[in-house]
Protein backbone atom coordinates (compact mmCIF):
# COMPACT_ATOMS: atom_id res chain seq x y z
CA UNK A 1 0.00 0.00 0.00
CA UNK A 2 1.47 3.34 -1.07
CA UNK A 3 0.19 6.85 -0.51
CA UNK A 4 0.69 9.87 -2.70
CA UNK A 5 1.76 12.12 0.16
CA UNK A 6 3.40 14.93 -1.79
CA UNK A 7 0.26 16.11 -3.52
CA UNK A 8 -1.48 16.64 -0.17
CA UNK A 9 1.10 18.94 1.43
CA UNK A 10 -0.05 22.56 1.48
CA UNK A 11 1.34 25.71 3.04
CA UNK A 12 -2.13 26.95 3.92
CA UNK A 13 -2.21 26.68 7.71
CA UNK A 14 -0.68 28.31 10.75
CA UNK A 15 0.60 26.46 13.79
CA UNK A 16 -0.31 27.10 17.43
CA UNK A 17 2.26 29.89 17.60
CA UNK A 18 0.75 31.67 14.61
CA UNK A 19 3.61 30.87 12.23
CA UNK A 20 3.30 29.44 8.72
CA UNK A 21 3.03 25.66 8.80
CA UNK A 22 2.45 22.83 6.35
CA UNK A 23 -0.31 20.27 6.26
CA UNK A 24 0.29 16.53 6.26
CA UNK A 25 -1.59 13.84 4.41
CA UNK A 26 -4.29 12.15 6.53
CA UNK A 27 -2.10 9.05 6.86
CA UNK A 28 0.96 11.00 7.99
CA UNK A 29 -1.08 13.15 10.37
CA UNK A 30 -2.75 10.08 11.90
CA UNK A 31 0.64 8.40 12.31
CA UNK A 32 2.15 11.40 14.11
CA UNK A 33 -0.96 11.92 16.27
CA UNK A 34 -1.12 8.28 17.38
CA UNK A 35 2.52 7.54 18.23
CA UNK A 36 2.88 10.73 20.31
CA UNK A 37 -0.38 10.50 22.28
CA UNK A 38 -0.56 9.46 25.93
CA UNK A 39 -4.34 10.07 26.21
CA UNK A 40 -3.67 13.21 28.23
CA UNK A 41 -3.91 16.93 27.56
CA UNK A 42 -0.86 18.42 25.86
CA UNK A 43 0.44 21.99 25.86
CA UNK A 44 -1.62 23.13 22.88
CA UNK A 45 -4.32 20.47 22.53
CA UNK A 46 -6.83 19.01 24.96
CA UNK A 47 -7.30 15.25 24.99
CA UNK A 48 -10.88 15.54 23.69
CA UNK A 49 -9.69 17.69 20.79
CA UNK A 50 -7.11 15.13 19.75
CA UNK A 51 -9.69 12.36 20.04
CA UNK A 52 -11.96 14.29 17.70
CA UNK A 53 -9.09 14.87 15.25
CA UNK A 54 -8.03 11.21 15.32
CA UNK A 55 -11.60 10.07 14.63
CA UNK A 56 -11.83 12.32 11.56
CA UNK A 57 -8.45 11.10 10.30
CA UNK A 58 -9.41 7.43 10.74
CA UNK A 59 -12.46 8.03 8.57
CA UNK A 60 -10.24 9.55 5.86
CA UNK A 61 -7.67 6.74 5.82
CA UNK A 62 -7.67 3.29 4.28
CA UNK A 63 -8.98 0.85 6.96
CA UNK A 64 -6.05 -1.52 6.37
CA UNK A 65 -3.62 1.31 7.09
CA UNK A 66 -5.48 2.16 10.31
CA UNK A 67 -5.30 -1.48 11.38
CA UNK A 68 -1.61 -1.74 10.63
CA UNK A 69 -0.96 1.51 12.48
CA UNK A 70 -2.73 0.11 15.56
CA UNK A 71 -0.53 -3.02 15.56
CA UNK A 72 2.58 -0.93 14.81
CA UNK A 73 1.86 1.40 17.73
CA UNK A 74 1.45 -1.57 20.09
CA UNK A 75 4.26 -3.86 18.94
CA UNK A 76 6.89 -1.39 17.72
CA UNK A 77 6.21 1.80 19.64
CA UNK A 78 5.34 -0.02 22.90
CA UNK A 79 2.07 1.90 23.32
CA UNK A 80 -0.82 0.29 25.16
CA UNK A 81 -3.88 2.53 25.33
CA UNK A 82 -3.90 4.32 21.98
CA UNK A 83 -3.95 1.10 19.88
CA UNK A 84 -7.14 0.12 21.71
CA UNK A 85 -8.70 3.43 20.71
CA UNK A 86 -7.81 2.75 17.06
CA UNK A 87 -9.35 -0.73 17.18
CA UNK A 88 -12.54 0.61 18.75
CA UNK A 89 -12.91 3.36 16.16
CA UNK A 90 -12.06 1.01 13.31
CA UNK A 91 -14.78 -1.40 14.49
CA UNK A 92 -17.33 1.42 14.19
CA UNK A 93 -16.46 2.16 10.59
CA UNK A 94 -15.40 -1.10 9.00
CA UNK A 95 -17.18 -4.39 8.38
CA UNK A 96 -17.52 -7.04 5.69
CA UNK A 97 -14.28 -8.93 6.36
CA UNK A 98 -12.08 -10.10 9.22
CA UNK A 99 -9.79 -7.03 9.34
CA UNK A 100 -11.06 -5.88 12.76
CA UNK A 101 -10.62 -9.39 14.18
CA UNK A 102 -7.02 -9.61 12.96
CA UNK A 103 -6.18 -6.14 14.27
CA UNK A 104 -7.81 -6.89 17.63
CA UNK A 105 -5.73 -10.04 18.01
CA UNK A 106 -2.63 -8.09 16.96
CA UNK A 107 -2.92 -5.38 19.63
CA UNK A 108 -3.68 -7.74 22.54
CA UNK A 109 -0.22 -8.51 23.93
CA UNK A 110 -1.16 -8.87 27.62
CA UNK A 111 -4.14 -10.49 29.30
CA UNK A 112 -5.31 -7.23 30.89
CA UNK A 113 -5.61 -5.65 27.44
CA UNK A 114 -8.69 -7.83 26.88
CA UNK A 115 -10.54 -6.05 29.67
CA UNK A 116 -8.98 -2.69 28.76
CA UNK A 117 -10.23 -2.99 25.18
CA UNK A 118 -13.74 -3.83 26.35
CA UNK A 119 -13.70 -0.86 28.73
CA UNK A 120 -12.45 1.38 25.91
CA UNK A 121 -15.13 0.04 23.56
CA UNK A 122 -17.81 0.74 26.15
CA UNK A 123 -16.59 4.25 26.89
CA UNK A 124 -16.13 5.38 23.28
CA UNK A 125 -19.49 3.89 22.28
CA UNK A 126 -21.18 5.35 25.39
CA UNK A 127 -22.21 1.94 26.67
CA UNK A 128 -21.62 1.93 30.39
CA UNK A 129 -21.95 -1.38 32.21
CA UNK A 130 -21.43 -4.94 31.04
CA UNK A 131 -25.06 -5.45 30.01
CA UNK A 132 -24.82 -2.81 27.32
CA UNK A 133 -21.63 -4.40 26.03
CA UNK A 134 -23.54 -7.50 24.90
CA UNK A 135 -23.84 -5.86 21.48
CA UNK A 136 -20.15 -6.16 20.72
CA UNK A 137 -18.78 -5.85 17.23
CA UNK A 138 -18.73 -9.45 15.96
CA UNK A 139 -15.25 -9.10 14.50
CA UNK A 140 -13.90 -7.49 17.66
CA UNK A 141 -15.45 -10.37 19.61
CA UNK A 142 -13.76 -12.84 17.26
CA UNK A 143 -10.37 -11.20 17.73
CA UNK A 144 -10.76 -11.20 21.52
CA UNK A 145 -11.74 -14.87 21.43
CA UNK A 146 -8.48 -15.69 19.66
CA UNK A 147 -6.55 -13.62 22.20
CA UNK A 148 -8.20 -15.47 25.11
CA UNK A 149 -6.52 -18.69 23.99
CA UNK A 150 -3.00 -17.23 24.18
CA UNK A 151 -2.73 -16.76 27.94
CA UNK A 152 -2.20 -19.17 30.83
CA UNK A 153 -3.57 -19.10 34.38
CA UNK A 154 -0.68 -17.07 35.76
CA UNK A 155 -1.17 -14.35 33.14
CA UNK A 156 -4.92 -14.20 33.67
CA UNK A 157 -4.57 -14.16 37.46
CA UNK A 158 -1.82 -11.54 37.39
CA UNK A 159 -4.08 -9.10 35.59
CA UNK A 160 -7.43 -10.09 37.12
CA UNK A 161 -7.89 -6.73 38.78
CA UNK A 162 -10.89 -4.81 40.03
CA UNK A 163 -12.25 -2.50 37.38
CA UNK A 164 -15.38 -1.67 35.41
CA UNK A 165 -14.74 -4.81 33.34
CA UNK A 166 -13.29 -7.81 35.15
CA UNK A 167 -11.78 -10.91 33.52
CA UNK A 168 -14.92 -12.89 34.38
CA UNK A 169 -17.07 -10.23 32.67
CA UNK A 170 -14.83 -10.40 29.60
CA UNK A 171 -15.19 -14.18 29.43
CA UNK A 172 -19.00 -13.96 29.44
CA UNK A 173 -19.02 -11.14 26.89
CA UNK A 174 -16.61 -12.75 24.44
CA UNK A 175 -17.57 -16.44 24.85
CA UNK A 176 -14.20 -17.76 23.66
CA UNK A 177 -14.02 -21.34 22.44
CA UNK A 178 -11.42 -23.33 24.39
CA UNK A 179 -8.73 -24.94 22.26
CA UNK A 180 -8.55 -28.05 24.51
CA UNK A 181 -9.73 -29.51 27.83
CA UNK A 182 -7.04 -27.74 29.87
CA UNK A 183 -8.07 -24.43 28.37
CA UNK A 184 -11.70 -25.13 29.24
CA UNK A 185 -10.71 -25.86 32.84
CA UNK A 186 -8.96 -22.49 32.92
CA UNK A 187 -12.03 -20.72 31.53
CA UNK A 188 -14.10 -22.43 34.22
CA UNK A 189 -11.76 -21.06 36.88
CA UNK A 190 -12.18 -17.56 35.48
CA UNK A 191 -15.98 -17.98 35.44
CA UNK A 192 -15.99 -19.19 39.06
CA UNK A 193 -13.51 -16.56 40.30
CA UNK A 194 -11.24 -19.44 41.24
CA UNK A 195 -7.93 -18.38 39.71
CA UNK A 196 -4.95 -19.15 41.88
CA UNK A 197 -3.44 -16.00 43.41
CA UNK A 198 -0.26 -15.40 41.40
CA UNK A 199 3.19 -14.91 42.86
CA UNK A 200 4.02 -11.34 41.87
CA UNK A 201 5.87 -8.55 43.59
CA UNK A 202 2.57 -6.69 44.03
CA UNK A 203 0.73 -9.59 45.69
CA UNK A 204 3.70 -10.53 47.87
CA UNK A 205 4.32 -7.00 49.16
CA UNK A 206 0.60 -6.41 49.62
CA UNK A 207 0.26 -9.55 51.73
CA UNK A 208 3.29 -8.56 53.79
CA UNK A 209 1.79 -5.14 54.37
CA UNK A 210 -1.27 -6.70 56.01
CA UNK A 211 0.78 -8.27 58.78
CA UNK A 212 0.83 -6.55 62.17
CA UNK A 213 4.51 -6.47 63.15
CA UNK A 214 5.64 -6.04 66.75
CA UNK A 215 8.21 -3.39 65.86
CA UNK A 216 9.52 -1.21 63.05
CA UNK A 217 12.69 -3.29 63.11
CA UNK A 218 10.77 -6.52 62.53
CA UNK A 219 8.80 -4.93 59.68
CA UNK A 220 11.95 -3.56 58.04
CA UNK A 221 13.73 -6.90 58.23
CA UNK A 222 10.68 -8.66 56.78
CA UNK A 223 10.57 -6.29 53.79
CA UNK A 224 14.32 -6.69 53.30
CA UNK A 225 13.90 -10.48 53.22
CA UNK A 226 10.92 -10.22 50.86
CA UNK A 227 12.77 -8.02 48.36
CA UNK A 228 15.70 -10.43 48.42
CA UNK A 229 13.30 -13.32 47.83
CA UNK A 230 11.68 -11.49 44.91
CA UNK A 231 15.07 -10.73 43.35
CA UNK A 232 16.04 -14.42 43.64
CA UNK A 233 12.68 -15.65 42.33
CA UNK A 234 12.95 -14.17 38.84
CA UNK A 235 9.32 -13.05 39.14
CA UNK A 236 10.24 -9.38 39.37
CA UNK A 237 9.70 -8.05 35.86
CA UNK A 238 12.23 -5.74 34.25
CA UNK A 239 9.89 -2.74 34.29
CA UNK A 240 9.01 -3.44 37.94
CA UNK A 241 12.73 -3.56 38.69
CA UNK A 242 13.25 -0.16 37.07
CA UNK A 243 10.40 1.36 39.03
CA UNK A 244 11.46 -0.10 42.38
CA UNK A 245 15.19 0.63 42.51
CA UNK A 246 14.76 3.15 45.32
CA UNK A 247 12.49 0.77 47.24
CA UNK A 248 15.04 -2.03 46.89
CA UNK A 249 17.78 0.32 47.99
CA UNK A 250 15.84 1.59 50.99
CA UNK A 251 15.00 -1.99 52.01
CA UNK A 252 18.71 -2.56 52.61
CA UNK A 253 19.09 -5.76 50.57
CA UNK A 254 22.47 -7.49 50.66
CA UNK A 255 25.29 -6.57 48.32
CA UNK A 256 24.92 -9.95 46.60
CA UNK A 257 21.31 -9.06 45.75
CA UNK A 258 22.33 -5.59 44.62
CA UNK A 259 24.84 -7.26 42.35
CA UNK A 260 22.07 -9.41 40.86
CA UNK A 261 19.92 -6.34 40.27
CA UNK A 262 22.76 -4.50 38.54
CA UNK A 263 23.62 -7.50 36.39
CA UNK A 264 20.04 -7.90 35.25
CA UNK A 265 19.58 -4.20 34.54
CA UNK A 266 22.67 -4.17 32.32
CA UNK A 267 21.99 -7.46 30.53
CA UNK A 268 21.54 -6.75 26.81
CA UNK A 269 19.09 -9.65 26.35
CA UNK A 270 16.94 -8.43 29.23
CA UNK A 271 16.96 -4.91 27.79
CA UNK A 272 15.86 -6.19 24.39
CA UNK A 273 13.02 -8.28 25.86
CA UNK A 274 11.83 -5.48 28.17
CA UNK A 275 10.94 -3.09 25.31
CA UNK A 276 11.03 -0.01 27.50
CA UNK A 277 10.73 3.58 26.35
CA UNK A 278 14.22 5.10 26.59
CA UNK A 279 12.96 7.73 29.02
CA UNK A 280 12.09 4.99 31.55
CA UNK A 281 15.82 4.63 32.22
CA UNK A 282 16.09 8.37 32.68
CA UNK A 283 13.21 8.33 35.18
CA UNK A 284 14.93 5.55 37.16
CA UNK A 285 18.22 7.46 37.08
CA UNK A 286 16.61 10.63 38.41
CA UNK A 287 14.78 8.74 41.12
CA UNK A 288 18.08 7.34 42.36
CA UNK A 289 19.70 10.77 42.27
CA UNK A 290 16.83 12.44 44.13
CA UNK A 291 17.69 13.87 47.54
CA UNK A 292 14.72 12.34 49.35
CA UNK A 293 15.63 9.45 51.65
CA UNK A 294 13.83 6.85 53.72
CA UNK A 295 12.48 7.95 57.13
CA UNK A 296 15.19 8.01 59.80
CA UNK A 297 13.45 5.47 62.02
CA UNK A 298 13.44 2.98 59.12
CA UNK A 299 17.02 3.73 58.07
CA UNK A 300 18.15 3.00 61.62
CA UNK A 301 17.23 -0.66 61.35
CA UNK A 302 18.36 -1.54 57.80
CA UNK A 303 21.72 -1.38 56.11
CA UNK A 304 22.48 1.98 54.51
CA UNK A 305 22.82 1.11 50.82
CA UNK A 306 23.27 4.63 49.45
CA UNK A 307 26.89 3.71 48.79
CA UNK A 308 25.65 1.34 46.08
CA UNK A 309 23.90 4.08 44.09
CA UNK A 310 26.88 4.48 41.79
CA UNK A 311 26.71 0.82 40.82
CA UNK A 312 23.01 1.15 39.97
CA UNK A 313 23.65 4.27 37.88
CA UNK A 314 26.41 2.44 36.01
CA UNK A 315 24.03 -0.43 35.35
CA UNK A 316 21.38 1.94 33.99
CA UNK A 317 23.94 3.53 31.67
CA UNK A 318 24.94 0.08 30.40
CA UNK A 319 21.26 -0.72 29.85
CA UNK A 320 20.78 2.43 27.79
CA UNK A 321 23.93 1.69 25.83
CA UNK A 322 22.55 -1.78 25.12
CA UNK A 323 19.27 -0.28 23.91
CA UNK A 324 21.25 1.87 21.47
CA UNK A 325 23.37 -1.00 20.14
CA UNK A 326 21.10 -1.76 17.19
CA UNK A 327 20.61 1.86 16.14
CA UNK A 328 22.15 2.46 12.75
CA UNK A 329 24.07 5.68 13.28
CA UNK A 330 26.46 7.37 10.89
CA UNK A 331 30.20 7.01 10.35
CA UNK A 332 32.96 9.61 10.45
CA UNK A 333 32.37 10.56 6.80
CA UNK A 334 28.83 11.82 7.58
CA UNK A 335 28.47 15.12 9.42
CA UNK A 336 25.43 15.10 11.69
CA UNK A 337 23.82 17.96 13.61
CA UNK A 338 21.33 17.17 16.38
CA UNK A 339 19.19 20.05 17.68
CA UNK A 340 16.88 19.71 20.70
CA UNK A 341 13.87 21.96 21.27
CA UNK A 342 13.75 23.07 24.94
CA UNK A 343 11.01 25.68 24.51
CA UNK A 344 8.14 26.18 26.94
CA UNK A 345 5.75 23.88 25.10
CA UNK A 346 8.29 21.06 25.38
CA UNK A 347 8.40 21.37 29.16
CA UNK A 348 5.17 19.53 29.87
CA UNK A 349 4.90 15.97 31.28
CA UNK A 350 4.42 13.15 28.80
CA UNK A 351 1.48 11.95 30.89
CA UNK A 352 -0.51 13.05 33.92
CA UNK A 353 1.47 10.92 36.40
CA UNK A 354 4.91 11.24 34.83
CA UNK A 355 7.79 13.45 35.95
CA UNK A 356 9.39 13.07 32.51
CA UNK A 357 8.91 16.10 30.29
CA UNK A 358 8.49 16.12 26.54
CA UNK A 359 11.90 17.67 26.01
CA UNK A 360 13.40 14.86 28.12
CA UNK A 361 12.12 12.48 25.44
CA UNK A 362 13.81 14.56 22.75
CA UNK A 363 17.05 14.72 24.71
CA UNK A 364 17.07 10.95 25.26
CA UNK A 365 16.47 10.18 21.59
CA UNK A 366 19.09 12.69 20.52
CA UNK A 367 21.71 11.29 22.91
CA UNK A 368 20.95 7.71 21.84
CA UNK A 369 21.63 8.70 18.23
CA UNK A 370 24.64 10.80 19.20
CA UNK A 371 26.19 7.71 20.79
CA UNK A 372 26.01 5.95 17.41
CA UNK A 373 27.47 8.71 15.25
CA UNK A 374 31.19 9.34 14.66
CA UNK A 375 31.05 12.95 13.45
CA UNK A 376 28.29 14.73 15.35
CA UNK A 377 27.46 18.06 16.97
CA UNK A 378 24.60 18.49 19.42
CA UNK A 379 22.83 21.53 20.76
CA UNK A 380 19.59 23.03 22.03
CA UNK A 381 17.42 25.92 20.95
CA UNK A 382 14.90 28.26 22.54
CA UNK A 383 15.36 32.04 22.27
CA UNK A 384 18.89 31.26 21.10
CA UNK A 385 20.81 28.27 19.71
CA UNK A 386 23.82 26.73 21.44
CA UNK A 387 25.96 23.70 20.72
CA UNK A 388 27.29 21.75 23.70
CA UNK A 389 30.19 19.29 23.57
CA UNK A 390 29.43 16.05 25.41
CA UNK A 391 31.07 12.60 25.37
CA UNK A 392 29.56 9.94 23.13
CA UNK A 393 29.39 7.10 25.66
CA UNK A 394 27.54 8.79 28.50
CA UNK A 395 23.93 8.91 27.37
CA UNK A 396 22.16 9.49 30.70
CA UNK A 397 24.86 11.87 31.90
CA UNK A 398 24.56 13.87 28.68
CA UNK A 399 20.79 14.18 29.10
CA UNK A 400 21.29 15.42 32.63
CA UNK A 401 23.86 17.97 31.41
CA UNK A 402 21.43 19.37 28.83
CA UNK A 403 18.63 19.28 31.38
CA UNK A 404 20.75 21.30 33.80
CA UNK A 405 21.61 23.91 31.16
CA UNK A 406 18.34 24.29 29.23
CA UNK A 407 17.64 27.74 30.72
CA UNK A 408 20.76 29.07 29.01
CA UNK A 409 18.95 29.33 25.67
CA UNK A 410 15.56 30.63 26.87
CA UNK A 411 12.13 29.24 26.07
CA UNK A 412 11.04 30.51 22.66
CA UNK A 413 10.90 28.23 19.59
CA UNK A 414 13.49 29.78 17.28
CA UNK A 415 14.45 26.64 15.42
CA UNK A 416 15.40 28.70 12.39
CA UNK A 417 18.55 29.73 14.29
CA UNK A 418 19.90 26.20 13.91
CA UNK A 419 19.92 26.56 10.13
CA UNK A 420 20.88 30.22 10.19
CA UNK A 421 24.02 29.31 12.15
CA UNK A 422 25.35 26.68 9.74
CA UNK A 423 24.34 28.89 6.81
CA UNK A 424 26.30 31.86 8.18
CA UNK A 425 29.34 29.68 8.93
CA UNK A 426 29.06 27.83 5.61
CA UNK A 427 29.32 24.52 7.46
CA UNK A 428 28.41 21.50 5.34
CA UNK A 429 26.15 19.18 7.31
CA UNK A 430 24.94 15.97 5.71
CA UNK A 431 22.15 15.36 8.23
CA UNK A 432 20.32 17.92 10.35
CA UNK A 433 17.91 16.47 12.91
CA UNK A 434 15.45 18.45 15.01
CA UNK A 435 13.79 16.86 18.05
CA UNK A 436 10.73 19.06 18.56
CA UNK A 437 6.95 19.37 18.86
CA UNK A 438 7.14 21.15 15.47
CA UNK A 439 5.45 24.34 16.73
CA UNK A 440 8.32 26.58 15.65
CA UNK A 441 8.23 30.30 14.97
CA UNK A 442 10.56 33.28 14.80
CA UNK A 443 10.12 35.35 17.96
CA UNK A 444 12.31 38.08 16.49
CA UNK A 445 10.43 38.56 13.21
CA UNK A 446 8.59 36.43 10.71
CA UNK A 447 10.94 37.39 7.88
CA UNK A 448 13.28 34.45 8.40
CA UNK A 449 11.41 31.23 9.07
CA UNK A 450 13.08 27.83 9.09
CA UNK A 451 11.66 26.82 5.70
CA UNK A 452 13.29 29.79 3.95
CA UNK A 453 16.56 29.27 5.81
CA UNK A 454 16.68 25.60 4.86
CA UNK A 455 15.96 26.20 1.16
CA UNK A 456 18.71 28.79 1.11
CA UNK A 457 21.13 26.51 2.95
CA UNK A 458 20.58 23.70 0.45
CA UNK A 459 21.05 26.11 -2.43
CA UNK A 460 24.14 27.92 -1.16
CA UNK A 461 26.00 25.46 1.08
CA UNK A 462 24.94 21.81 1.00
CA UNK A 463 22.74 20.77 -1.96
CA UNK A 464 22.52 17.14 -0.77
CA UNK A 465 21.83 17.83 2.90
CA UNK A 466 18.82 16.19 4.52
CA UNK A 467 16.73 17.48 7.41
CA UNK A 468 14.76 15.15 9.66
CA UNK A 469 11.97 16.40 11.88
CA UNK A 470 11.46 14.11 14.88
CA UNK A 471 7.90 15.07 15.78
CA UNK A 472 7.36 14.40 19.49
CA UNK A 473 3.77 15.61 19.88
CA UNK A 474 1.87 15.14 16.63
CA UNK A 475 -0.11 18.37 16.38
CA UNK A 476 -0.76 17.72 12.69
CA UNK A 477 1.44 20.28 10.94
CA UNK A 478 5.13 20.85 10.30
CA UNK A 479 7.36 23.95 10.08
CA UNK A 480 8.92 22.71 6.82
CA UNK A 481 7.51 21.13 3.69
CA UNK A 482 7.99 17.40 4.12
CA UNK A 483 9.19 15.36 1.11
CA UNK A 484 10.63 18.46 -0.53
CA UNK A 485 14.18 19.81 -0.35
CA UNK A 486 15.39 16.72 1.50
CA UNK A 487 12.98 17.16 4.45
CA UNK A 488 11.53 14.07 6.15
CA UNK A 489 9.25 13.48 9.13
CA UNK A 490 9.57 10.85 11.88
CA UNK A 491 7.36 10.60 14.96
CA UNK A 492 7.30 8.75 18.27
CA UNK A 493 8.99 8.31 21.67
CA UNK A 494 10.45 4.83 21.24
CA UNK A 495 13.98 4.06 20.07
CA UNK A 496 12.20 2.32 17.17
CA UNK A 497 12.02 5.74 15.49
CA UNK A 498 15.56 5.04 14.35
CA UNK A 499 14.29 2.10 12.32
CA UNK A 500 12.15 4.64 10.47
CA UNK A 501 15.26 6.78 10.02
CA UNK A 502 17.09 3.79 8.51
CA UNK A 503 14.14 3.18 6.18
CA UNK A 504 14.24 6.80 5.01
CA UNK A 505 17.97 6.49 4.38
CA UNK A 506 17.19 3.51 2.15
CA UNK A 507 14.70 5.49 0.12
CA UNK A 508 11.47 4.36 1.78
CA UNK A 509 8.80 6.61 3.25
CA UNK A 510 8.09 7.14 6.95
CA UNK A 511 5.01 4.98 6.51
CA UNK A 512 6.93 1.98 5.15
CA UNK A 513 7.42 0.44 8.60
CA UNK A 514 3.66 0.61 9.17
CA UNK A 515 2.74 -0.69 5.73
CA UNK A 516 5.09 -3.65 6.22
CA UNK A 517 3.21 -4.83 9.31
CA UNK A 518 1.52 -8.21 8.74
CA UNK A 519 -2.02 -8.66 9.98
How confident is residue 149, by pLDDT bands cut at 50, 70 and 90? very high
Percent of the chain scored above 90 by pLDDT?
72
Q: What's the CA gap between 504 and 506, in Å, rounded? A: 5
| Phi/psi at 36 (5° precision) | -125, 20
**What was the pLDDT predicted at 92?**
92
435 membership: H or E segment, kind and range: strand 431-436
* Residue 292 in this model has a pLDDT that exceeds 90: no
Q: Smallest Cα–Cα separation from 83: which of 134, 23, 157, 143? A: 143
**What was the pLDDT predicted at 322?**
95
Helix (H, G, I), strand (E, B), or coil: what is residue 468? strand
C-alpha 253 chain-centroid distance: 31
How confident is residue 472, by pLDDT bands cut at 50, 70 and 90? very high
* Residue 172 in this model has a pLDDT that exceeds 50: yes
* Residue 405 in this model has a pLDDT that exceeds 60: yes
Measure Cα distances from 230 to 236, 242, 311, 420, 453 in Å.
6, 14, 20, 55, 57
pLDDT tens, 300-348? Answer: 444 566 778 899 999 999 999 999 998 999 999 999 999 999 999 999 8
Mean pLDDT of all residues in 478-497? 93
The residue among 33 and 351 whose pLDDT is bigger is 33
Q: Smallest Cα–Cα separation from 87: which of 110, 112, 114? A: 114
Residue pair 249/293 in contact by the 8 Å Cβ criterion:
no
| CATH fold label, 336-515 | Rossmann fold (3.40.50)
Residue pair 399/282 in contact by the 8 Å Cβ criterion:
yes
- Region at 322 (left for phi over 0; alpha for psi -120 to 50; beta for the rest): alpha
Query: What single string gives the DSSP state of each residue in 319-343?
Result: HHHHHHTT-----TTS-EEEEEE-S
Q: Which residues of 12-33 are buried (b: 16+ CB within 10 A; e: fewer)?
A: eeebbbebbbbbbbbbbbbbbb
Give 165's contacts (C-beta < 8 A, 6+ positions apart).
Answer: 115, 118, 119, 122, 130, 133, 173
pLDDT tens, 109-118? Answer: 999 999 999 9
**What was the pLDDT predicted at 418?**
97
Residue pair 430/464 in contact by the 8 Å Cβ criterion:
yes
**What was the pLDDT predicted at 302?**
47
**What was the pLDDT predicted at 297?**
41
**What was the pLDDT predicted at 304?**
60
How confident is residue 386, by pLDDT bands cut at 50, 70 and 90? very high
**What was the pLDDT predicted at 215?**
87
* Average confidence score pLDDT of the chain: 90
Three-state SS annotation for 4-68: CCHHHCCCCEECCCCCEEEECCHHHHHHHHHCCCCCCCCCCCCHHHHHHHHHHHHHHCCHHHHHH
Mean pLDDT of all residues in 73-91? 94
Least confident span in 157-166, 226-235, 461-470: 157-166
**What was the pLDDT predicted at 38?**
85
| Phi/psi at 252 (5° precision) | 75, 35
* Residue 8 in this model has a pLDDT that exceeds 80: no
Measure Cα distances from 355 to 238, 305, 309, 313, 359 in Å.
20, 24, 20, 18, 12
**What was the pLDDT predicted at 130?**
64
C-alpha 415 chain-centroid distance: 24
* Residue 40 in this model has a pLDDT that exceeds 80: no
How confident is residue 144, by pLDDT bands cut at 50, 70 and 90? very high
Query: What single string gives the DSSP state of each residue in 470-504?
Result: EESS--SEESS-TTSTTEEEEE-SSTTHHHHHHHH
Q: What's the CA gap between 154 and 239, in Å, rounded? A: 18
The residue among 99 and 9 whose pLDDT is bigger is 99
Computed from CA positions of residues 17, 21, 25, 31, in that sequence, does the dihedral angle turn out positive or negative? negative
pLDDT tens, 48-64? Answer: 999 999 999 999 999 99
Domain residue extents for the chain: 6-191, 201-234+236-324, 336-515
**What was the pLDDT predicted at 12?**
67
Percent of the chain scored above 70 by pLDDT?
93
* Residue 280 in this model has a pLDDT that exceeds 80: yes
**What was the pLDDT predicted at 467?**
97
397 membership: H or E segment, kind and range: helix 395-405
Query: What single string gives the DSSP state of each residue in 150-213?
Result: T--HHHHHHT---SSS-HHHHHHHH-PPPSSHHHHHHHHHHHTT-PPPP--HHHHHHHHHTS--
**What was the pLDDT predicted at 468?**
97
**What was the pLDDT predicted at 39?**
78
Amino acid sequence: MKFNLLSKLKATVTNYEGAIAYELSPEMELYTAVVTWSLNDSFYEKDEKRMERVRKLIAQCNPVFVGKLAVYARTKMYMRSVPLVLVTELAKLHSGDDLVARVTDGVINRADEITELLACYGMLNERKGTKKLNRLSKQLQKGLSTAFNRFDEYQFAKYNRDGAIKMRDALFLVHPKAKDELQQLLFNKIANNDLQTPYTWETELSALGQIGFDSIEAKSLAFKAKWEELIDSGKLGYMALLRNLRNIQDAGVSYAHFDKVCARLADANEVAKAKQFPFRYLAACRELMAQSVAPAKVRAVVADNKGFTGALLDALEKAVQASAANIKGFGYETRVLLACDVSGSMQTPVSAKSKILLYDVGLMLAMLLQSRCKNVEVGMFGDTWKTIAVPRNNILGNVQEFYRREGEVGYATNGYLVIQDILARRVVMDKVMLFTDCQLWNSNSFANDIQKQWVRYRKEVAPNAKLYLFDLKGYGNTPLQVLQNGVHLIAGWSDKVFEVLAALENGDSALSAINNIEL
